[in-house]
Amino acid sequence: MAISFTLLHRDGAARAGLLTTPHGVVETPIFMPVGTQATVKGLTPEMVRAAGAQIILGNTYHLALRPGDELIRDLGGLHRFMNWSGPILTDSGGFQVFSLASQVKITDHGAKFKSHIDGRLLELTPERAVEIQENLGSDIAMVLDECPPADADPARLQAAVERTIKWAARCQVHQRRSDQALFAIVQGGRDPQLRAACARELVALDFPGYALGGFSVGEAPEEMHAALPACAALLPEAKPRYLMGVGRPVDLLVGIAAGIDLFDCVMPTRNGRNALAFTADGPVRLRNAQHRRDPRPLESGCTCYCCANYSRAYLHHLFAAEEMLGPTLVSMHNVAFYLRLMREARTAIATGRFTVFVATYLARWKDDS
């Protein structure tokens, strides 16, 4: 087996465990910073490690287009290419089937894209998605799936689920690397019966891990929160569970409470580039004039490099002056905050006080950002 997963503690549905991969052991629940194009935007690998990251995520679609998966393979694989020695999970390009819908033609065979870079065609089939990820050499690869929008009609949802199941089986047949785990993705939108049917078929194929896809694609957060416990319960107890592309700190806590182990999202770095910092007391918008003379650190008690060395006033100045250090420092803090939240959640689960932990955080946050 390319990976193994051990559950250490439970507190209600919340779980804490160890995910062992060829490039190291990951403590769960964990957040994976997103390195779409072989870089976590604005941060060096050393910064990402210092923030507490144990595993990061790369993007199949983007890396296949630029610089090319075969080039990365020839240069020693994604770990060496980007100087990240820890575990890497790569998505399959399935989300781009959703996000680039206007440039995609989907058939049972696969998806054809027009490159957002130069307009050239890229055909992504289940087999090609596996080949790309095997060339990249990630520890965990994802099957190709079809992710329908939140407002998809029942017929389209049904078709997407059927295609996702068939594509997952084709990915499994085509897999060659024994040192790479292939995770399946459960789709079904907001239809609990479709979700259950999709999960049932995929669990029967016995993948080493499972993901919930098709969340945070336009539905209200409350709908996702309500659906997560039942959806997570569809997945095998003894295997890692991954909620794809989610999200805000409150979403992570709700996901952990439902029994999710792995998360990823661009929010820490995307918001960091736009002067929004996440803290235990809620978001801080550093462009606001109130920070112009504020000598306090971004978050009191935070030990990240940003908070240990710079004031809110300095960060406000960097964004006002459009200096590139501002986005780097706030991204660094945001990633550290997300990973600290995961670390504290693991401790709370292990000590049987996860419910109190969540309630304390929710009471401190000034809004749901």
100-138: pLDDT as tens digits: 777 888 999 999 988 878 888 889 999 999 999 999 999
d(CA 33, CA 103): 27
Backbone φ and ψ of 75, nearest 5°: -95, 10
Residue 36 confidence (pLDDT): 94
The average confidence (pLDDT) of the chain is 95
Residues 304 and 258 placed together within one structural domain of the fold: no
Question: CA 60: distance to chain centroid?
Answer: 14
d(CA 306, CA 32): 20
Number of H helices, E strands in the chain: 15, 16
For 316-331, how does the pLDDT look when each residue is reduced to its tens digit (9 = 90+)?
A: 999 999 999 999 999 9
Residue 366 confidence (pLDDT): 66
Residues 249 and 325 placed together within one structural domain of the fold: no
For 196-216, how does the pLDDT look when each residue is reduced to its tens digit (9 = 90+)?
A: 999 999 999 999 999 999 998
| 242: containing domain | 4-265
Residues 243 and 283 placed together within one structural domain of the fold: no
Active site residues: 91, 264
Cis peptide before 67 (omega within 30 of 0): yes
Collapsing DSSP to helix, strand or coil, 68 comes out as coil
pLDDT at 247 over 70: yes
The residue behind tokens 């986005």 is 327
d(CA 291, CA 306): 15
Which one of 208, 239, 265 terminates a domain? Answer: 265
Give the count of domains, the chain.
Answer: 2
Which one of 209, 237, 265 terminates a domain? Answer: 265
pLDDT at 368 over 50: no
Q: What one-character-per-residue DSSP string does 159-192 give?
A: HHHHHHHHHHHHHHHH---TTSEEEEEE--TT-H
Please compute the mean of the pLDDT values over residues 95-103 and round it to a whole number.
75
**253 exposure class (CB count in 10 Å sphere: 0-12, 13-18, 19+):** buried
Residues 135 and 214 placed together within one structural domain of the fold: yes
d(CA 355, CA 178): 39
Residue 27 lies in a domain: yes
Backbone φ and ψ of 259, nearest 5°: 105, 20
Residue 350 lies in a domain: yes
Residue 242 lies in a domain: yes
d(CA 201, CA 186): 9
d(CA 151, CA 58): 28
Structure tokens at 123: 């055909």
Which one of 222, 244, 265 terminates a domain? Answer: 265
The DSSP 8-state label assigned to residue 280 in this structure reads: T
> Quick one: the chain helix, strand, coil %, rounded to 5?
45, 20, 35
Residue 232 lies in a domain: yes
Residues 88 and 172 placed together within one structural domain of the fold: yes
Pairing assessment for the beta strands 209-212 and 241-243 based on DSSP bridges? parallel
Collapsing DSSP to helix, strand or coil, 122 comes out as strand
pLDDT at 350 over 90: yes
Share of residues in the chain with pLDDT > 90 (%): 90
Residue 369 confidence (pLDDT): 37
Residues 286 and 196 placed together within one structural domain of the fold: no
Residue 230 lies in a domain: yes
**161 exposure class (CB count in 10 Å sphere: 0-12, 13-18, 19+):** buried
Residues 252 and 298 placed together within one structural domain of the fold: no
Residues 299 and 353 placed together within one structural domain of the fold: yes
Q: Which residue has the higher pLDDT, 149 or 21?
A: 21
Collapsing DSSP to helix, strand or coil, 53 comes out as coil
Please compute the mean of the pLDDT values over residues 9-27 and round it to a whole number.
98
Residue 270 lies in a domain: no
